[in-house]
Amino acid sequence: MTPHNASGPSRWSDLDRPPLNVNALRRGLLHEGGLWTSVDVVQRTGSTNSDLVARAASGAAEEGAVLVAEEQTAGRGRLDRRWTAPARSGLFFSVLLRPAEVPLERWGWLPLLTGVAVATGLSRAAGVDTALKWPNDLLVTVGGEERKAGGILAERAGEDGVVVGVGLNVSLRADELPVPQAGSLALADAVSTDRDTLLRSVLRSLETWYDRWRSAGGDPVTSTLQEAYAAGCATLGRQVRAELPGGRALLGEAVAIDGDGRLVIATAEGVREAVGAGDIVHLRPA
């Protein structure tokens, strides 16, 4: 972990937000034959995704590398949206995966797989029911309302790798939310906001799901990934508006996740269209 600079604010200044214990994380996650090969924690960086993509390109990272930041200053979501949060208020991490056994056309399942893994890990460690908004938002319930508490971003890392990043609001208070529609585990009444415990649980869950998916050659049915994602997806059964590339919008009911991980929307005209990219808005019932 980066040494504390005496001229700057103490990393212990917020007792509700202690720093991650990198040694304990390594003891809990790194083991012979396991997926995770390294765990590094930095105090501050622009984007863990960008940093890990660069490390992979330079040959300085192997599959299973985990990079965690206590604070991100230029975190990115889908459509290049910015993601910022106070230091040590969340989990901001990226992992490097090289699924050589999986055909390239199935790699699009990785962000959805990560969503399932994060939701599973948080259910166990935080006691919070985390729902998935297609394709990669993490939702929690705050005061009876769905709120976005996190997101997932996957990027190619060379010819044979993918870096998957996760940003998750853990201890954010109501007055710290970037937008009123945001949420956090604390606001969703999590039984634990211990980031060490949460990160270990999420990464163990991700290892389990990734191994299952990879062993099945990326088959979403055999690995049960398609079924698990659909079961946890808050988008299915809802009226939605899909804002598609090129400025086109599609209105209808989200009815299924297809074998390629795309969202199938049934329009009022009886047409079914599979959407592979776009921004999905959950519409309130009329």
**Residue 142 pLDDT > 70:** yes
Q: How far apart are CA 50 and CA 165, in angstroms?
A: 9
CB 61 within 8 A of CB 49: no
Task: Answer whether residue 55 shows pLDDT above 80.
Answer: yes
| Contact (CB, 8 A) for 228 and 216 | no
Q: By three-state DSSP, how is residue 182 classified?
A: strand
Q: Write out the two tokens for 161.
A: 């790798």
Instruction: Give pTM, 2 decimals.
Output: 0.92
Q: What is the pLDDT of residue 9?
A: 43
Q: What is the pLDDT of residue 1?
A: 35
User: What confidence score (pLDDT) does residue 76 get?
Assistant: 57
Report the chain's mean pLDDT, rounded to a whole number: 92
pLDDT for the residue 2? 37
Q: What's the angle, vertex CA 180, arms to CA 175 and CA 186, rounded to 5?
A: 55
pLDDT at 16: 77
Q: For residue 52, is pLDDT > 50?
A: yes
Residue 34 has pLDDT above 50, yes or no: yes
Q: Of all helices (H) and strands (E), which one includes residue 213? A: helix 195-215
Instruction: Please state, in angstroms and rounded to a whole number, the distance separating the CA atoms of residues 257 and 112.
Output: 10
Query: Does residue 77 carry a pLDDT above 80?
Result: no
Residue of 143, 142, 193 lying closest to 168 (CA atoms): 193
Helix axis angle, 195-215 relative to 110-126, nearest 10°?
140
pLDDT tens-digit profile of 154-199?
A: 999 999 999 999 999 999 999 999 898 999 999 999 999 999 999 9
Phi-psi region of 252 (alpha: psi -120 to 50; beta: other; left: phi over 0): left
Distances (CA, A) of 116 to 3, 122, 124: 35, 10, 13
For residue 93, pLDDT over 60 is answered with: yes
